[in-house]
Chain A
Amino acid sequence: MSEIPAELRYRTSHEWVRVEDDVAVVGITDHAQDAMGDLVYVELPEVGQVLATGEEAGVVESVKAASDIYAPVSGEIVAVNDALEDEPELVNNEPYGNGWLFKIKMADSGELKEMLTADQYQEQLDSE
């Protein structure tokens, strides 16, 4: 059973968002890291990059698969998790903690309402 923290918002493409004022911290879910297996490489966006919702923001790669990461909300990238360059396994070990991917300054916090709640995301996983 994968962990799905109640206070976060989710995308069907398995990204999570934690809101810190007008900044959204983004990562991939426990379920996503488990399905990918041990990550060997993480490609992150550049600070200053402006992304639209659903636009490609990076790539996570394991020995068996590579998967695109999409911006769950629109806005400007204000920080990326540089530690992942040397330790991609942080995403596997702490997907909701030190394994975060990037922070995006939200252009429109109203977009959060369109994201899934923990219950809705759980429902999606159950139906897969």
Chain B
Amino acid sequence: MSNETKLIFQHSRPGRGANAQAPKPVSEDQLSAIPASLRRKQKPGLPEVSELDVVRHYTNLSSKNFAIDKQFYPLGSCTMKYNPRGANRAAMLPGFLARHPLAPASHSQGYLACLYDLQNFLKEVTGMKGVSLAPMAGAQGEFAGVAMIRAYHDARNDDGRTEILIPEAAHGTNPATAVMCGYKVREVPVGKDGDVDLEALKQACGPQTAGLMMTNPSTCGVFERQIEAIAKTVHDAGGLLYYDGANLNAILGKVRPGDMGFDVIHMNLHKTFATPHGGGGPGAGPVGVSQRLLPYLPTPMAGLDEDSGEYSWIDTDTLPTSIGHLSAFMGNAGVLLRAYFYAMVLGREGMIRVGEYSTLAANYLLKRLQQVGYTAAYPERRASHEFILTLAKEAKELNVTAMDVAKRLLDYNQHAPTTYFPLLVPECLLIEPTETESKEAMDDFIAAMEAILHEAKTDPDMVKEAPFTQPVRRLDDVKAARELDLTWSE
């Protein structure tokens, strides 16, 4: 591996350039439309580099990536499963790739058919009554979901509902979504076994309750056993139930949020349906709803006229109660096609195996890591598709923290698990292997974790200095947060 870690600006030499790629000079005539006050006085501070400089720089950088294509990537809550190449190829068929978003429905029948079928697959696997593929990311799916809860209460003139309840073990984005939609957040405590404190929930529910947002399995990595009682409590108070699909992988084909009593769900196709996570996107966060929220689904959606067999767009002209558009067109087309292909290849039977094998892999890892000396946060509970270790003991006795172990894992060519999340477990690692990892890959990870625990006991100072083999040593994330500076200057 090349250890060059220069910035592209540091390769810059005055007068060097990639002339063949340079934009044509702009005439004074063309500039005249731009007011003088808005025109640049100086050249932009771009690096002056040759084409070869650029190619080498970025190729070298790309080879430094930790990635699911190169390493085991047990990033809990993120479901970093393999993204099948076949799904990529299908989404890049010329008929899909060259389709213009404004092409009429009559010219988009194949594309619309795929989306219509995907809506139905997602409906069936989640047990919801309707699905919209419009949200372009998990966060937008959450926003759409809570916006529908709001639209539902508004339509009934039920305007005293100002609060969204959120258990401590919920996903971190949930409170942000509730606030974005104009609600106050009330936190509901979680018991020592990882389940919601049902008595506290009963106390918190009332005429001010708009809904409850939760993840099941929760970010504690355990399945909420009282879900039916929770649903009844919230529904009896007149609130609706929101399901954050972050952990859908664990229950795929096994249990359905619709059957648990949820009114609205968002799914992260970039997790559960194996589409790429990319560099922060593009994602896809379809929403599914129960009967009473059908009128509010975001548009456009794919529709089918059963008589003519023609597919069409359903938009706000035919569904005026919809919360409306979330973007100019509909979702991230290429991502949705990849998820469609993935679902087609898996079929009903395959979906069940996703849930089974992701859970089996997590429980195998958990047991083996306990055997080599790590402490489970919820030792009496079976893991879902992920689980939590707590290094509180190691931090206290050896002064080696969860962050130190995470950094040292990089030296063993293993991507670190999620650290310090969820917040309610001290010094935690949240580990999610997914169903696509082999036993051998997991055994390598276990061996690395065992070796690090031994190092922590015999040479803690070394572990605290890790990593040693990466292009950079331990970064000062505190300084980066306190003195954020994203502008290059000499």
Contacts and interface: CB of A to CB of B under 8 A. Distances in A.
Given A63-B477, A64-B403, A64-B420, A88 B426 contact: no
A65 B420 contact: yes
B419 A63 contact: no
Nearest to A87: B482
Contact of A35 (B419, B426, B478, B481): B426
Interface residues of A, number: 13
Interface residues of B, number: 9
Contacts of B481: 40-41, 63
Interface string B410-427: 000000000110010010
Contact of A88 (B403, B419, B477, B482): B482
Contacts of A41: 481
A65 B482 contact: no
A64 B478 contact: no
Contacts of A67: 423
Contacts of A38: 478
A40 B478 contact: yes
A53 to B, nearest CB: 16
Nearest to A63: B477
A93 B482 CA distance: 15
Interface in A18-42: 35, 37-38, 40-41
B312 to A, nearest CB: 46
A40 B482 contact: yes
Interface in A50-67: 62-67
A116 to B, nearest CB: 19
B423 A63 contact: no
A66 B403 CA distance: 16
A1 B85 CA distance: 54
Interface in A86-125: 88-89
A35 B403 CA distance: 13
Interface string B390-429: 0000000000000100000000000000011001001000
A101 to B, nearest CB: 18
Contacts of B419: 64
B416 to A, nearest CB: 13
B406 to A, nearest CB: 11
A41 B420 CA distance: 17
B168 to A, nearest CB: 12
Contacts of B420: 64-65
A67 B172 CA distance: 12
A58 to B, nearest CB: 15
A36 to B, nearest CB: 10
Contacts of A63: 477-478, 481
Contacts of A66: 423
A65 B423 contact: yes
Nearest to B419: A64
B425 to A, nearest CB: 11
Interface string B457-490: 0000000000000000000011001100000000
Contacts of A64: 403, 419-420
Nearest to B392: A128
Contacts of B482: 40, 88-89
A101 B423 CA distance: 22
A87 B480 CA distance: 14
Give the interface centre of A37, A38, A64, A65 by most chain B CB atoms within 10 Å. A64
Contacts of B426: 35
A57 to B, nearest CB: 15
Contacts of A62: 478
Nearest to A89: B482
Contacts of B478: 37-38, 40, 62-63
Contacts of B403: 64
A46 B478 CA distance: 26
A62 to B, nearest CB: 8
A9 B125 CA distance: 54
B187 to A, nearest CB: 9
Interface in B112-159: none
Nearest to B395: A35
Interface string B253-284: 00000000000000000000000000000000
A56 B344 CA distance: 48
Interface in A66-97: 66-67, 88-89
Nearest to B481: A40
Nearest to B478: A38
Nearest to B422: A65
Contacts of A40: 478, 481-482
A38 B482 CA distance: 10
A113 B255 CA distance: 50
Given A66-B423, A89-B482, 18 more contacts: A35-B426, A37-B478, A38-B478, A40-B478, A40-B481, A40-B482, A41-B481, A62-B478, A63-B477, A63-B478, A63-B481, A64-B403, A64-B419, A64-B420, A65-B420, A65-B423, A67-B423, A88-B482
Q: What 4 A-B pairs are tightest by C-beta distance, nearest first?
A: A40-B481, A64-B420, A38-B478, A63-B477
20 contacts: A35-B426, A37-B478, A38-B478, A40-B478, A40-B481, A40-B482, A41-B481, A62-B478, A63-B477, A63-B478, A63-B481, A64-B403, A64-B419, A64-B420, A65-B420, A65-B423, A66-B423, A67-B423, A88-B482, A89-B482
Interface of A: 35, 37-38, 40-41, 62-67, 88-89
